[in-house]
Amino acid sequence: MSTARRDPFPALADQPLLRVNELVKHFPVKGGLFGRTSGSVRAVDGVSFELAKGETLGLVGESGCGKSTTGRCILRLIEPTSGEVWFEGRNVVGLGREAMRALCRDMQIIFQDPYASLDPRMTVGAIVGEALVIHNLTKTETQYRERIVELLETVGLHADHLRRYPHEFSGGQRQRIGIARALAVSPKLIVCDEPVSALDVSIQAQVINLLEDLQQKFDLTYLFIAHDLSVVEHISDRVAVMYLGRIVEIAPARELYTTPRHPYTEALLSAVPIPEPGLKRTRIRLVGDVPNPINPPSGCHFHPRCPKVMERCKTESPAFRQVSGGHWAACHLNDSAGLT
Ligand code: SF4
């Protein structure tokens, strides 16, 4: 029996916290004199994965591959075109406003840009406390203030920061404010949308360490989005690699870094520095840019840039195939390696 299929659900848990099933988001492209729809950007084109409670899944790919759109569709910040998002056994897609508002307590997001995601006119206390008010989580003024102080201290800030404004903080501190804001409602799942991309490398490590500590402390589940495999290496239990709106490989983190089964993952990995002095990877430089998602290439979408392209890749779309345990990849090179 062939195991090739498009929806990889590695057996992680009987009841995953999150199950994304064939998620699609197409943005219409308007053009011409009358602004008619002339096509669509296939930003997310059939993405499926599961996330177990307490797990971190790294979601990696170049700019424009659809990873942030996937994260936003899960939280319904963007309405998906089709597909299902099951959170604790409930399909989030199609939930009414009230039900969705209640669910916002369980699912939060940390944004990429700590400069743009905080309202400059609000004090840090008001930013962190906003969700406490919306969800009516504290009963008295004293409780409200104490909870904000507790949240600030949890992310490594101080009580006296609550009266200050975002512009008074460094990039790393602003991202800590964003994390405190997400924690205010005691969520179960946090979509970390490139939370360290805008920060200096030295600060990146501090924020990632903080996120790891918070995960332990509060039993959090992360979907950790990044464009760089080196960022997600240590925080992820599993890693999914996206290309042109689709997941092309998903595997336990260690396995993906040691034995990648997709040429695109190999190319991304070749850019990850090895910490041991004297050891260097041979850099695989991909030719050309990411193709236009309005009109993706035929066959394997990666074929115009693939260093291992074969004739059949130009016409045949590769099946998403299980290559071992929880390791799946979409590449014809794995056809003979599929589990039976
Ligand atoms: Fe490269 Fe072909 Fe594999 Fe696509 S299917 S990644 S073009 S070898």
Q: What is the DSSP string of 120-160?
A: TTS-HHHHHHHHHHHTT--SSHHHHHHHHHHHHHHTT--GG
In angstroms, how far is CA 327 from the centroid of its own chain? 18
CA 179 – ligand 1 centroid, Å: 39
Higher pLDDT, 280 or 195: 195
In angstroms, how far is CA 242 from the centroid of its own chain? 10
CA 282 – ligand 1 centroid, Å: 20
Q: For atom 3 of ligand 1, which residue has the closest CA? A: 331
Ligand 1 close to Cβ of residue 263 (< 6 A): yes
Helix (H, G, I), strand (E, B) or coil at 166: helix
d(CA 58, CA 21) in angstroms, rounded, equals 17
Tokens of 210: 């903080």
Q: How confident is the model at residue 337 (pLDDT cuts 50, 70, 90)?
A: low
d(CA 240, CA 161) in angstroms, rounded, equals 37
Ligand 1 close to Cβ of residue 85 (< 6 A): no
Ligand 1 close to Cβ of residue 318 (< 6 A): yes
CA 9 – ligand 1 centroid, Å: 22
Q: For atom 5 of ligand 1, which residue has the closest CA? A: 331
Q: How confident is the model at residue 94 (pLDDT cuts 50, 70, 90)?
A: confident
The mean pLDDT of 310-331, rounded to a whole number, is 96
pLDDT of residue 91: 95
The mean pLDDT of 5-11, rounded to a whole number, is 45
DSSP string, 215-253: HHHHT-EEEEEES-HHHHTTT-SEEEEEETTEEEEEEEH
Mean pLDDT of the chain: 90
CA 72 – ligand 1 centroid, Å: 29
- C-alpha distances out from residue 129 to 48, 92, 136, 152, 191, Å: 34, 26, 10, 10, 20
Ligand 1 close to Cβ of residue 205 (< 6 A): no
Order across the sheet with 90-91: list the strands.
36-51, 18-31, 82-87, 90-91
Domain 18-106+187-335 in CATH 3.60.21.10? The answer is no
Percentage of residues in the chain with pLDDT exceeding 70?
93
**Can you tell me which atom of ligand 1 is nearest the CA of 264?**
6
CA 300 – ligand 1 centroid, Å: 6
CA dihedral 141, 145, 146, 147 (to 10 degrees): 100
Q: For residue 188, how many other CB atoms are within 10 A of its CB?
A: 18
**Can you tell me which atom of ligand 1 is nearest the CA of 334?**
3
pLDDT at residue 299 tops 80: yes
8 A C-beta contact, residue 158 and residue 173: no
Digit-coded pLDDT (tens) for 107-155: 999 998 777 889 999 999 999 999 999 999 999 999 999 999 999 999 9
Tokens of 139: 């009963």
Domain edges within the chain? 18-106+187-335
Rg (CA), the chain: 21
Interhelix angle 171-183/124-134, rounded to 10 degrees, is 20
Tokens of 8: 């990889």
Order across the sheet with 189-193: list the strands.
107-110, 189-193, 221-226, 56-60, 238-243, 246-252, 327-330, 320-324
8 A C-beta contact, residue 187 and residue 222: no
Ligand 1 close to Cβ of residue 159 (< 6 A): no
**Can you tell me which atom of ligand 1 is nearest the CA of 306?**
1
Ligand 1 pocket test, candidate residues 246, 331, 335, most atoms within 8 A of CB: 331
pLDDT of residue 289: 82
d(CA 28, CA 37) in angstroms, rounded, equals 6
CA 287 – ligand 1 centroid, Å: 14
Ligand 1 close to Cβ of residue 308 (< 6 A): yes
Amino acid at 46: G
Q: Is the pTM of this model over 0.85?
A: yes
Burial of 333 (0-12, 13-18, 19+ CB in 10 A): middle
CA 272 – ligand 1 centroid, Å: 21
